[in-house]
Amino acid sequence: MTGRNRRSGMREVARAAGVSVSTVANVLSRPSIVAPATRHRVEEAIKGVGYVPHGPARQLRGVPSPIVGSVTLDLANPFYAEVNRGIEDRLAAAGCLLLACSTDLRAEKETRLLRLLQAQAVRGVIISPIEVDPTRLLTLSRQGTPVVLIDHPRGDLDLCAVTVDDVLGGRLAGEHLLALGHRRIAYLGDIVDPAPVAGRREGLRQAIADAGLDPATALLDLRLRLRPPSLIDAAAAAADAILAATPKVTAVVCLNDTAALGLLDGLENLGVRVPQDLSIVGHDDLSFARRLTPPLTTVRQPPYQVGQAAADLLLAESEPDHDHREIRFQPELVVRASTAPPS
């Protein structure tokens, strides 16, 4: 609505309520300064005229915003693109719109985005948090902005969540490599340790320990600065650290397929053959994984379905009998040509 049309709509409301345009504006922006009886007349006039207030003022009419915010770690990551596609398709069917944002793994940006979305009175926020701040997220929810977590278990939080069992994903990758005979495995992670990355590392550690090996020596835990938008380049540079490790590493589990893509590129530039010299496992099973050379062994998870489930939970927040719960998907191992027994 343009400023002129918005002003025209406010005049119609003012005439219907028998008040000035400035009084209508006060009801929309500063209702506490307007007498209750006058405020009620204006709100009834808004309903009768069918005027749609701008931004947060919509709430005065009891009309929820059609906009839902999505806050993920990296919009450029194909995994989150698929998550957002699932969210968007569900929202579209409900007459809502998606506003997708990226934190780029920066805590201060995450805080700023949440404040901006709340100021816009969005219908709710679906977030893949860098770290869960219970006070901030619960305050957001209690102040009228529903929150649904993705990529992070709800734990004791009174919020909904959609997760994939990342610990199991790490175990599947580790058990596969151990069954092939690998006994010195690297985990390529990030210095920032969001729940999915930490969970996959823990699952790998458990698999190594269950095989009777000491994770302190059998697991090389690499925590590098794998930040968007340079994740692929940073993962490629990690090849040097992996090859320099002592004892020799014979397999690498990457935090995701995008990191695996970068590592494969770095290894190729160094003349390292995969899987003859080094086995590589990714995580996500993104569309490009099967097209890499060699095709990537990875742990599959369903990002589109994660997005759909998160949107369903968010939309259900308006139902009076809605209970907060967690939906958990199970990953599965997809074996391709990037893994083989150590030479």
Output the pLDDT for position 5.
Answer: 42
Domain range list for the chain: 3-61, 67-165+303-331, 166-301
Domain range 3-61, its CATH number among 1.10.260, 1.10.3470, 1.10.1060, 2.40.50: 1.10.260
Please name the fold of domain 67-165+303-331. Rossmann fold (3.40.50)
The tokens describing 299, both together, are: 């742990």
Output the pLDDT for position 50.
Answer: 72
Output the pLDDT for position 2.
Answer: 44
3-state class (DSSP) for residue 18: coil
The tokens describing 31, both together, are: 């209702």
The pTM for the full model equals 0.80
Whether the bond into 229 is cis, omega within 30 of 0: yes
Assess contact for 276 and 311: CB atoms under 8 A.
no
Instruction: Give the residue among 196, 202, 225 at the shortest CA–CA distance from 106.
Output: 225
d(CA 263, CA 226): 11
Output the pLDDT for position 55.
Answer: 56
Q: What are phi and psi of 161, to 5 degrees?
A: -150, 150
Class of domain 166-301: alpha beta
Output the pLDDT for position 184.
Answer: 98
The Cα-based distances of 244 to 92, 103, 225, 311 in angstroms read 50, 33, 18, 45
Output the pLDDT for position 124.
Answer: 95
Side-chain-side CA neighbours of 94 within 13 Å: the count stands at 23
Profile the chain (343 residues) by mean pLDDT over runs of 10 residues: 52 92 79 84 83 56 78 92 97 95 91 88 93 84 91 90 98 99 96 89 98 98 76 89 94 96 96 98 97 98 98 90 93 99 96
Cα-atom radius of gyration of the chain, to the nearest Å?
25
d(CA 316, CA 321): 9
Q: Which contacts of 35-43 are long-range, i.e. CB under 8 A and separated by 24 or more positions?
A: 41/17, 42/13, 42/17
Output the pLDDT for position 8.
Answer: 53
Do 3-61 and 166-301 share a fold? Answer: no
